[in-house]
Chain A
């Protein structure tokens, strides 16, 4: 069974950056795109982008262009999502998701809280 284990909760100040990791196991990491999705408290799902772990190609949501960077380290089967210039409305649970049909498997989520 595919497993995605994300890094722990983070508390950041406005203007800072955060890097969330997503360690994949029990499948070939380069076989499936990795998507990142977030959910602010009491709000809906928001797609941030994807990375192709094989090539490193990325595609980001228009709303996050210039602020989000997705990378991967194939040697340790881990994907990363870096969000810069954090604002209070970036407070959310951030998920990674992957699979043969893209969203089959989800990480447990990482809470990023932005507060002064």
Chain B
């Protein structure tokens, strides 16, 4: 089974910009991995922010964006808000099977 790797923790200042990344043990991440990004706050179910690399849901704040960057999937937060402090998970597809990354704890401080 593939392993998906995320930064364990990151810190961003309010109003600042931060990029979270996800790599795959199988090699470069492509659009064919259909990358997803989820936000999870304590005691809540995860919420999808980004699907299929860069697509947003109607509930996704405009300050979040998804891309491929240097062989990885990336989630960029521009203009961080205190309410963005949360755990963020990526998810990749491998021929229909899915694998989550270990999660990035984002602190807004």
A interface, CB within 8 angstroms of B: 35, 37, 44-47, 50, 59-63, 95, 101-104, 106-109
CB B85 to nearest CB in A, in angstroms, measures 17
Residue from B55, B97, B100 within 8 A of A59 (CB atoms): B97
Q: CB-CB contacts of B5-49 with A at 8 A, as 1s and 0s?
A: 000000000000000000000000000000010101000011110
User: Which of chain B's residues has its CB closest to A59's CB?
Assistant: B96
Chain B hits for A35, CB < 8 A: 98
The interface on chain B, measured as residues whose beta carbon lies within 8 A of the other chain's beta carbons, has a size of 23
Residue from B1, B45, B52 within 8 A of A95 (CB atoms): B45
Quick check: B51 and A102 within 8 Å, CB to CB? Answer: yes
B interface, CB within 8 angstroms of A: 1, 36, 38, 40, 45-48, 51-52, 55, 57, 87, 89, 91, 96-103
Chain B hits for A103, CB < 8 A: 36, 38, 46, 48, 51, 91
Chain B hits for A59, CB < 8 A: 96-97
